[in-house]
Structure 1
Amino acid sequence: METISEGMGRLALSEDEKWINEGEEIEEEEKDEMVNKSKELEDDEEKGEEMVNKVGGVVLGKDAKWIKHYSSSQKILLVGEGDFSFSAALATAFGDASNMVATSLNSHGFLAENYKNALPNVDMLTNKGCTVMHGVDVRIMAYNALLRLEGLTFDRIVFNFPFARLSKKSPSPSIQCQQGLVRAFLKNAVKMIGEDGEIHITHKTNGSHIYWDITGLAYKQGLELVKYADFRLEDYPGYNTKFGFGGDRNFNCYPSTTYMFRLSDDGRGSD
């Protein structure tokens, strides 16, 4: 989002108020008036910039703070969080998390039982103004009542390392099941992304993961690939790649890629 243009235009002065250098001395009170008008203009410009850049309680523009692909000026939805350490890494970098909504499929009780740092991370996020939600299913998140209260439009929707837990009774092969999860997520996310927003998926790129066809699934939902980048843990200090179903263990996230998609000109896709 662009900040307000520098300079709001010169103060239009009438002919008798213009500076003329014909030997006349300007009265002290006139000098004071000119200084005061100039000061008022500067104050108005600062206020105008703040009003133009203020979105959802977040002041955008030159003071925005960045961590890799993410900025404090973006309204960010994070889904599928494990111990909320990725959200915490962003919040630490921003110094404030009022621009973020961080969600997990797991309950508060599950987090307390399975991840030793989850609740401290949630407390930190909450104290920094982040909206934290539990029990959010990415397959139906566009219809989640609490998310609707936050508004359905986000600048960034982030899903790191999507993975559907397979039941022993599941009739679907693993890859088809995983593709079903990603497809459902994307179908919901395109309903929640802003016009110039992006949907990010970080995904492993070895073994059977290469057959998930993340870009193909996105294309079928009316998305196009903006760019992709190698994922590195050190870019997000404090982030732990937890297994999504407990155990408090980290999985090996290398090699992985972050795919960044946006809405194509063809629309928001179908199935």
Structure 2
Amino acid sequence: MRMAMIGLGKMGGNMARRLCRGGIEVVGYNRSPEIVNALAAEEGMVPAGALREAVEKLTAPRVVWLMLPSGAPTEQAIEELNALLEQGDVIVDGGNSNYHDSQRRGATVAKAGIGYVDAGTSGGIWGLDNGYCLMVGGARDAVALVEPALKVLAPAPERGWAHVGPVGAGHFTKMIHNGIEYGMMQAMAEGFALMKGKSEFNLDLAQISELWRHSSVVRSWLLDLTADALKQDQQLDDIAPYVPDSGEGRWTVVESIDQGTAAPVLSLALSMRFTSQDEEGYDFKLLSMMRNAFGGHAVKKAGE
């Protein structure tokens, strides 16, 4: 199988590496040519200097896999591909797109007979060695065309990937996956903060995180990663208390509102990330003022 990989950042670059090592011929394009040249030299990837050139180096039916930031970069690439590809070709969006956008884009390219597959991709920087979890949406024939690549990217040919439904279902499933991830991370962070705060016990958090990895109900890959980090540093003095949020966490909470389905843990986990990002802290200043107004409580001044 020969396919194109467009976008060779941390995820896309490692996915291209895994595909090449698994016997898939990859034509790669990235806005920065350095990574294209490096992958061509290291992995035997076929380099392309433009999106059009990548398409021209494929034979029908063509598969073009995008690993681009959600929003405008993905939108622009799909618009260009809609003019370059032909009936029977397939576009795969493996980035973190909103599933509503995937549904719209799939319907647009379908008018030209082009297949559309939305592949929710999880695995991060560890995917090169461990494989990726792939949640795939699209028509059966389009997914079948991509299947050889899915089997190489996944941890094993018959596990770690699944065709979960029509166009949009892949990114919807990944969106919910990330919302759950927020809740799991928040619960773990709060628990370890409570243990750190119990100074009278002088708990060794690295020891406890390692302990929980073995036969504990809360054992998980997140705990594995946390244990590895705490072995190096338990105080985290060099880490800023700032946690970004991806679009998928927000979209998950919006979905819960649209459905009228309660998701308090996921919603609160997202709100806690917002709190970490608020450098002004106006709401907390206002709370302090209220306490002073009704109870005469002291107000801590800036710099104290």
TM-score (norm. length: structure 1) = 0.38
Higher relative contact order (CA 8 A, sep 6+): 1
Structure in which a larger fraction of residues adopt strand:
1
Structure in which a larger fraction of residues adopt helix:
2
Larger Rg: 1
TM-score (norm. length: structure 2) = 0.34
